Structure 1
């Protein structure tokens, strides 16, 4: 009994400190790791930015930074991400002050509105359209949507972008005529195969090829055929003539024809035989080509310039709002990079 009792005493004396150490310090190690993830890197008004926010923000910033102006990409990636999070916090604070709430229902309503605007009813199709339009994974776009909703609301109540002037519209048009494209005056001949057999397809193709060859020698022959009963063009009664249409307008209904016209060249040129979007065989003869007139693209240019002004005005508003926001920086890398002497002083990037 004495021997067993002595062994028990030795066990207690030797292992008890180990157990006590484990109980006391193991939770502290775990807590230290937790606190590291939640260390406050900055405080923006009532909102704090933690290390966890920073870690999650890195990938978001990398995905979205190509949409930001160059002057917002100063310094190291580390500093850029923190500035990105500060700017977002500034917007969130003002949105809260203005009672702009973005909940799940609001997001669903926004998605539905955008789907209707694009004439899309299937969500999967909309996801593909978003990825194509913004060159972003749909999940990344969706994660950023609450911010975009807030931005849209704040543009209405806090920012007043000026409308583009006539001089700005004219200057943009003169500088970007190649971008607005051309408009064409052309004649078309359209034949449809009577069935889907290879022989019938070949017959129609060969018939149009022969018409093209004759028209190259005698352009009046093209007009003669275009006016005849075989031509299925809706403009047959006018000799197949389509009178001055911008390619961007034609592209909405006949994208293949619009593409062919852009490739054929100038007046007097005849296209090769091609199949349009309705699987019909076609020829086009260009009678006229000119830059798209300003009046035809004025509204489009005004809309483009206004969106640019919206973006610029919003960026300026964020910068000015940030200057008037109480911001404290605690991240040592950011403090060193920006030579901040007092980490708790109000700081705003120039």
Structure 2
């Protein structure tokens, strides 16, 4: 009967010792855990945390070269905060308009872009994306949901104006060098009978001789280019290609287009070269002139409209941001922008 109280007293002593040990162990304050993912800003219903900022730094560095200079104000830290605020503004409006970008939507967008470029292999598409945007494919893919939302909002929220005829004419006058030239030329195209070194050498020497004679007598080249051996699709017209812009020719005959650009002016013969189908060729330039406006009008209109889309979208984001409730808590941003009361609504100019 006396053992039970003794056991009870031992249990109480052991429990008390455990509690003392537990209380003696230093614990991390709750505030330090919260600071690991502190809220730096609240944009409408969305918050921007420290983790969002850390992820945003690298994204901003990769994408900032596409932004206009006036959007790059202040320190890198503040630029990243502004970048995240702008993205949050777009996300908020997209949510209001029920624009959802899920995995299937992203897959459909990739498929659409692959078809537009005539690409069926995903690895080839990844390389094309990296070349076109000068971005790692993973970075481009991470930004794709935003680009999809942007495209949708351009249709329903932003109305960029169409470029005027005066704007098209002005751009053409200032950028004739970029537009390039168009050529009127004759071509002689002959394939080797086989892939032996002897045949390749024989054909090269034969065409070199034809070129040398043609330099002395250009009519001789027209005669040969009209013969049955010429494999040019224009051989019925003596191999004459009548006024084609370089950029158009490049789509089907990139090597020939490159050679024409290097040969020089009217009356010049190219050296013997091999085209993209490994055929031996000579081209003779009969005329060269700046590509006329009518040949590139649609391309210029499309380019100018895309520029207007970008400018109009940036203006829309800025206007929407001003009408959005934004509260800043980040101390660096507050100091840099001289915000006296971080709790009050703040919108950057």
TM over 0.5: yes
Quote the offset at 1:53 in angstroms: 0.5
Residues 1:294 and 2:293 are matched in the alignment:
yes
Q: CA RMSD in A?
A: 1.8
How far is 1:225 from its partner?
Answer: 0.9
Aligned-partner Cα distance in 1 for 2:98–2:165: 37
Shift of 1:234: 1.5
CA shift, 1:160, in A, is 0.1
Q: d(CA) in 2 for partners of 1:14 and 1:109? A: 64
Structure 1 residue 235: deviation in Å? 1.2
> How does the TM-score come out when normalised to structure 2?
0.94
Deviations 1:277-322 (A, max 9, x none): 1110000000000000100000000000000000000000000000
* TM superposition shift of 1:220: 1.4
* Count of matched residue pairs: 340
Kindly report which structure 2 residues correspond to 1:215-234, keeping only aligned pairs within 5 A, or say none. Answer: 215-234=214-233
SS in structure 2 opposite 1:342?
coil
Per-residue deviation at 1:231? 1.4
Cα–Cα, structure 1 residues 132 and 15, in superposed 2: closer, same or farther, change >3 Å? same
3-state SS, counterpart of residue 288 of structure 1:
strand
Give the C-alpha shift of residue 86 in structure 1: 0.2
What residue is the counterpart of 2:308 in the other structure? 309
| CA distance in 2: counterparts of 1:16 and 1:317, whole angstroms | 61
Deviation at 1:33, TM superposition (A): 4.3
Cα deviation digits, residues 110-168 of structure 1 (max 9, x gap): 11111111111111111111111111111111110100000000000000000000000
Q: 2-side partners of 1:145 and 1:337: how far apart?
A: 31
CA distance in 2, matches of 1:230, 1:146: 54
Runs ≥4 residues deviating over 4 A:
9-18
Q: Residue deviations 1:39-67, cap 9 Å, x none?
A: 11000011110011001100000000001
Secondary structure of the equivalent of 2:199?
helix
Q: Give me the TM-score of the superposition, normalised by structure 1.
A: 0.94
CA contact (8 A) 1:37 1:50 kept: no
Identify unmatched segments of 5+ residues in structure 2. 1-11
Question: Superposition pairs for residues 1-16 of structure 1, below 5 Å?
Answer: none
5+ long unaligned stretches in structure 1: 1-8
Residue correspondence of structure 1 range 114-125 to structure 2 within 5 A? 114-125=113-124
Post-superposition offset of 1:188: 0.4
CA contact (8 A) 1:184 1:247 kept: yes
Q: Give per-residue Cα distances to partners, 1:254-281, cap 9 Å, x unaligned.
A: 0000000001011011000000011100
1:128-139 map, 5 Å? 128-139=127-138
Q: What is the CA–CA distance in structure 1 between the aligned matches of 2:50 and 2:166, rounded to whole Å? A: 48
